[in-house]
A and B are shown apart, each in its own frame.
Chain A
Amino acid sequence: MKTKPKLIDELGMHRTLTRLAHEIIEHNKGIESIALVGIKTRGEFIAKRLAERITSIEKKELLIGMLDITLYRDDLRAKLKQPILKGTDIAFDVTDKNIVLVDDVLFTGRTIRAALDQLMDLGRPKTIQLAVLIDRGHRELPIRADFVGKNVPTSDNQEIQVRLKEVDGEDSVLLIEKV
């Protein structure tokens, strides 16, 4: 494997997240009945950081929840290894909320499909929007993000790695060439 220079460094990530927070507020004309739902694992931490920023801008708490989409994956039957369940934690009723799903990378769209199905099973949200740090293309389903940190066109033999302080000890986004 060959590692290219960072696509986003620590400062860049800070700026990107701040911009995304502003876009979410602007698009929804405030944060009334907005809830952020992070998709585990890294989406959870991105959602938390976005929530902090939105709260400091709007001076208001907003609802936040976490989604483990494992039980809704469409590749459970084919997977060689069994995923460990990390648990869904949404302590509010999603019905009539404007849900902003948060994930690190948007790729095929299958994770988002699973998350949409699961959200629907939890109630009837008014709208569901999608915020991602990186959109790397290669969609296999008709899904697009409402808020994108950075568009990174990639080829099949490339991989995007989002590293977060909470999990990986540093903030960065790397483009990796698979050999």
Chain B
Amino acid sequence: MKILVKNARIIEPSENIDQVADILIVDGIIEKIAPKIAASGNVQEYVLDGKIVAPGFIDMHVHLREPGYEHKETIETGLDAAAAGGFTAVCCMPNTNPPIDDASVVKFIREKSEKTLNGLVDVYPVAAATKHREGKELSPMIELVEAGAVAFSDDGSPIENPEIMRRALEYSNMLGKIIIQHPEDRSLARGGMMNEGLVSTSLGLPPIPSIAEEIMIDRDIQIAKYVGASYHAAHISTAGSVEIIRQAKKKNLPVTCEVTPHHFTLTDEAVRTFDTNTKMNPPLRTKADVDAIKEGLRDGTIDVIASDHAPHSFDEKEVEFLEAPFGIVGLETAVGLAITELVIPKILSINQLIEKFSINPRKILSLPSVKIKVGEKTNFTILDIQKQWKVDAQKFKSKSKNTPFDGRTLIGKCFAIINNGRVHFSD
């Protein structure tokens, strides 16, 4: 099967390419890239009018919820949402039921995802670092890697015990896999519902101090340094965390991190509405934190943008604030928020955006790189960075609609993705 993509603005940061050209794809492989390619024979043709073709985006922090919580999301709906949001791959987190702490669960997810949308979206399971995600005993990491796990995390919960953290880092490092920490000191954050500050004081909501996150990252970096293993901090949210990681990177420590779109878009002021879609963990922080995160994104301290897509059914969120579960969906708003909040205000260039959505996460996870180059497999995210659109949660492909961004106007959207020989349009 032949596909001809015409008039595309190809951006391939790893090859320093930014050019307008046509791309001919034959049986899923890039056959030719040239200024003008004439259609010949049986060719599906797409004219992009200068829309950006980038190496396929990956969201390295997604809760697909299956198995166990299919009322929130299934692999099928989650991947549909990922494709609509512009992701050709996702990493799914292990806090399912049963958790991904056994090779059979990894296999289940892989097999099911390969059948979904004809394998349009690649799924890379992140397995639990400890059995039952309880932080007590290491999970069978070798078996899990053989089954297809790409990294380890107890996400949803931190690996609290420093000795277990040490062992997890050591053992996973032997396998060439990273530990992704949910950085939270649970004793400091106990009972907390939102960022500690003026707003938590005004609303009487139990606070989560910024140090609960920072202390954990600080500790983890010391352990990672001591054992010489790679460490990735998930969803960092405070100015202090940015600074701690910046300093670690200056010392060339193998430390990386990610941030979610909501943590660079919203502040804890949003919680004043008591909207349970502003309740997430880590919580929304202050303006100063948002500014520090933007700076961290700009100067490269923050490697990755990941959505922390955390679907919850409407009735789970339609409860009093204390009772509501933490988290929001993010797959279908991540790209739009990143372009609106970061690219338009010139905090990030398009190249940097592509690095953080595509190149860096693959590098961190040691996944095969994706390149727009003759002879490579086709794995594209096609962006319309001018498109103005309004978020409509009811139109989400995700089974859950828990977003604080419903009704918000964004600029920039995924137009289509091409992966594993399939073309998929977002709208």
Q: CB atoms of A and B under 8 A apart anywhere in the complex?
A: no
Q: Which A residues form the contact surface with B (CB < 8 A)?
A: none
